[in-house]
Chain A
């Protein structure tokens, strides 16, 4: 079993839809949770960062962490064609020098 599981998709939605992206994990020691967005042939860029449990909102993006279920989510409201990218979840144990990444979910938002 992988430490972090993420459905690779692809996920195709119409413009304006609410998108839900998810990851599950097995290591209860994870405390830092991140979402990265990667456009084709580009390096990943940090979208959201959350420490421990709870929600964090930034514009159209909301990150949720449910440590009891070992489940994290990224919601995108009013999705746009420019949101079409691969979304990678990542997590770490505090003080550990490495991030554990999910495989990434490819999202396509069509006009």
Chain B
């Protein structure tokens, strides 16, 4: 079966500090990978998605970046965090082996920027 991991689970960072969030998927190959942000009480905002190693599509211009160094690893980064970067960050994957568009989410990372 497939599982998706995210770490850390929670993070408190000062404004201006760097960020690195990691997501890994097990039990599948060549998945589509996604980073979302969910602000308190709000819906999901797609930040980046990737259809393969080194292939990143950005949905929202901001001070965040994403990388996919391995097939099942997706990293979200920032060089300098802003207060507005606080939120709940979710990684998701989608399989090409299944004939659906369903995405499966990880447990999330709660980021607080102070």
Contact = CB atoms under 8 A, between A and B. Distances in A.
B86 to A, nearest CB: 14
Contact of A97 (B43, B44, B51, B102): B51
Contact of B107 (A42, A49, A99): A42
Contact of A42 (B43, B51, B101, B108): B108
A98 B43 contact: no
Contact of B32 (A36, A51, A88, A97): A97
A45 B100 contact: no
Interface string A15-55: 00000000000000000101010000111111001010000
Contact of B49 (A8, A49, A97): A97
B106 A43 contact: yes
B102 A34 contact: yes
Contacts of B42: 103
A38 B94 CA distance: 18
B105 interface: yes
Interface residue SS majority, chain A: loop
Contact of A43 (B32, B100, B101, B108): B108
B81 interface: no
Contacts of B43: 88, 101-104
A99 B100 contact: no
A80 interface: no
Contact of A32 (B32, B44, B49, B100): B100
B25 interface: no
Interface of A: 8, 32, 34, 36, 41-46, 49, 51, 88, 90, 92, 94, 96-99, 101-104
29 contacts: A8-B41, A32-B100, A34-B101, A34-B102, A36-B105, A41-B88, A41-B108, A41-B110, A42-B107, A43-B90, A43-B106, A44-B44, A44-B90, A44-B105, A45-B105, A46-B102, A49-B100, A51-B100, A88-B43, A94-B101, A96-B101, A97-B51, A97-B57, A97-B94, A99-B101, A99-B103, A101-B44, A103-B42, A103-B43
